[in-house]
């Protein structure tokens, strides 16, 4: 049973009665006032009886008043505590908040939007080191590929935590020739699961939990040319599921499209997108299906929030359109473990 009298003094000190107290001195003053009242002129027997009854009445009233006050104040403070916990969630960084049904909930530091002018080198460095620049992410986006048979569209949802109890969840719904195929990905505590909703099968594998984010890369370290004259690239660490790589960890597309600083330019320094301040870049690229591209890059994290590619006539060929992106928000790590009821372990030997 909860002890509602615990920390009573501290709770009462925060009320309008914080400057009122009742000690032995006040107690004797009340008794002296009673004894020195006009009733002292009555006969002694009657006076004694009346004083006794009056003392009992005063003490009883005081006790009932204090009891009522304590009860109402405890309920009042209980209500405030619940409301404050609810109001502060997601607004006070780095403050664990007690949940009555779970352990303390970790709240990552709030993302601060960046409005400073950035150079090409600064934004490219952020894009190849996104894993350093946020702790949690929840998002959803639609992506279209042009080079997949059937002209494919995919809708991706994800929740990822990098530092505090690392883990992730992703749902990818591929729409091929009008048919949906849903695959789920999970990782936590050294295990990765891939589930197919169509076949009701899953694959489970182990991975080596390494320290993330590791060492930041400089542009010259990430991009180089080997002895044969071919491009060589070093990529940063990232979670062991690929469901959100296109947006949260876009290392490959950054390497393929923007490694040459002379092939692209900053089109806009500041453009709002889903509540994030982005930097817009546009460049040229020699591909069979498209010849130019445009990126919307979150200036604070380097996350590739949106992109489009264009053919020679300016038509959109491929794209990633975001529907939702929340950075450094509380995430329930219970979502990182799959419910395997109704699923069978896929036998790779078959």
Residue 123 or residue 76, greater confidence:
123
Confidence of residue 214 (pLDDT cuts 50, 70, 90): confident
Q: Which residue is it, tokens 């301040």?
A: 277
Cβ proximity of 97 and 104 under 8 Å: yes
Q: What is the rounded distance in angstroms from the CA atom of residue 212 to the CA atom of residue 200?
A: 32
Asked whether residue 97 is domain-assigned, the answer is no
Q: Which CATH number is 327's domain given?
A: 2.50.20.10
Asked whether residue 82 is domain-assigned, the answer is yes
Residues recorded for the chain = 350
Asked whether residue 94 is domain-assigned, the answer is no
In three-state form (DSSP H/G/I as H, E/B as E, the rest C), the secondary structure along the chain is: CCCCCCCHHHHHHCCCCCCCCCCHHHHHHHHHHHHCCHHHHCCHHHHHHHHHHHHHHHHHHHHHHHHHHHHHHHHHHHHHHHHHHHHHCCCCCCCCEEECCEEEECCCCCCCCCCCCCCHHHHHHHHCCHHHCCCEEEEEEEEECCCCCCCCEEEEEEEEECCCCCEEEEEEEEEECCEEEEEEEEEECCEEEEEECCCCEEEEEECCCCCCCCCCCCHHHHEEECCCCCEEECCCCCCCCCCCHHHHCCHHHHHHHHCCHHHEEEEEEEEEECCEEEEEEEEECCCCCCCEEEEEEECCCCCEEEEEEECCCCCEEEEEEEEEEEECCCCCHHHHCCCCCCCEECCCCC
Confidence of residue 163 (pLDDT cuts 50, 70, 90): confident
Average pLDDT (300-311) is 97
> 73-87, 138-152, 204-218, 243-257: which has the highest mean pLDDT?
243-257
Confidence of residue 20 (pLDDT cuts 50, 70, 90): very low
**pLDDT, the chain, mean:** 77
Query: Nearest CA to 127 among 263, 270, 276, 248?
Result: 248
Which of the residue ranges 40-49, 204-213, 308-317 would you say has the lowest mean pLDDT? 40-49
271 and 230 inside one domain: yes
182 and 331 inside one domain: yes
Give the CA angle between residues 9, 11, 17 to the nearest 5°: 80
Query: Environment class of residue 334 by beta-carbon count within 10 Å: exposed (0-12), middle (13-18) or buried (19+)?
Result: exposed
Confidence of residue 301 (pLDDT cuts 50, 70, 90): very high
Residue 350 has pLDDT above 60, yes or no: no
171 and 243 inside one domain: yes
pLDDT in tens, 255-281: 999 999 999 999 999 999 999 999 999
Q: 229: domain range?
A: 120-345
Residue 301 or residue 110, greater confidence:
301
Cβ proximity of 266 and 281 under 8 Å: yes
pLDDT in tens, 175-195: 777 788 999 999 999 999 999
Q: How many CB atoms lie within 10 A of CB 184?
A: 20
40 and 144 inside one domain: no
58 and 138 inside one domain: no
What's the domain count of the chain?
2
Asked whether residue 115 is domain-assigned, the answer is no
pLDDT of residue 114: 84
pLDDT of residue 209: 73
Share of the chain above pLDDT 70, in %: 66
18 and 148 inside one domain: no
Residue 50 has pLDDT above 60, yes or no: no
Asked whether residue 171 is domain-assigned, the answer is yes
235 and 285 inside one domain: yes
44 and 139 inside one domain: no
Cβ proximity of 107 and 96 under 8 Å: yes
Asked whether residue 108 is domain-assigned, the answer is no
pLDDT of residue 115: 86
Residue 26 has pLDDT above 60, yes or no: no
pLDDT of residue 100: 41
51 and 133 inside one domain: no
Query: Nearest CA to 283 among 260, 301, 306, 316?
Result: 260
Cβ proximity of 214 and 204 under 8 Å: no
Q: What is the rounded distance in angstroms from the CA atom of residue 254 to the CA atom of residue 192?
A: 26
Asked whether residue 131 is domain-assigned, the answer is yes
pLDDT of residue 150: 54
20 and 155 inside one domain: no
Choose the final residue of a domain: 67, 88, 109: 88
Choose the final residue of a domain: 45, 68, 88: 88
159 and 65 inside one domain: no
Asked whether residue 43 is domain-assigned, the answer is yes
189 and 73 inside one domain: no
């Amino acid at each position: 049973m909860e002890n509602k009298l615990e920390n009573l003094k501290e709770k009462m000190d925060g009320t309008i009665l914080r400057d009122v107290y009742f000690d032995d001195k006040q107690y004797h003053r009340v008794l002296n006032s009673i004894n020195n009242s006009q009733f002292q002129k009555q006969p002694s027997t009657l006076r004694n009886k009346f004083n006794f009854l009056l003392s009992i009445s005063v003490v009883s009233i005081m006790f009932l008043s204090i009891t009522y006050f304590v009860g109402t104040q405890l309920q009042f403070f209980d209500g405030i505590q619940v409301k404050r916990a609810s109001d502060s969630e997601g607004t006070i960084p780095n403050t664990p908040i007690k949940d009555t049904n779970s352990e303390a909930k970790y709240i990552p530091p709030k993302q601060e939007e960046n409005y400073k002018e950035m150079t090409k080198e600064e934004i490219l460095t952020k894009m190849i080191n996104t894993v350093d620049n946020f702790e949690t992410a929840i998002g959803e986006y639609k992506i279209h590929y042009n080079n997949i048979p059937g002209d494919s569209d995919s809708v991706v949802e994800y929740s990822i935590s990098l530092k505090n109890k690392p883990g992730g969840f992703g749902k990818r719904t591929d729409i091929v020739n009008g048919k949906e195929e849903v695959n789920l990905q999970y990782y936590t505590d050294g295990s990765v699961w891939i589930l197919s909703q169509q076949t009701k099968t899953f694959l489970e594998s182990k991975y080596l939990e390494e320290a993330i984010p590791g060492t930041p890369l400089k542009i010259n370290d990430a991009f180089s040319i080997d002895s044969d004259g071919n491009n060589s690239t070093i990529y940063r660490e990232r979670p062991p599921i690929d469901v959100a790589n296109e947006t949260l960890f876009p290392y490959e597309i950054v390497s393929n499209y923007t490694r040459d600083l002379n092939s692209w330019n900053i089109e806009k320094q500041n453009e709002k997108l889903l509540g994030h301040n982005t930097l817009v870049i546009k460049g040229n690229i020699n591909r069979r299906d498209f010849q130019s591209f445009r990126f919307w890059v979150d200036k604070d994290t380097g996350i590739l929030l949106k992109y489009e590619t264009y053919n020679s006539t300016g038509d959109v060929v491929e794209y990633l359109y975001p529907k939702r992106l929340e950075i450094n928000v509380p995430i329930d790590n219970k979502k990182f473990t799959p419910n395997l009821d109704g699923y069978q372990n896929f036998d790779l030997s078959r």
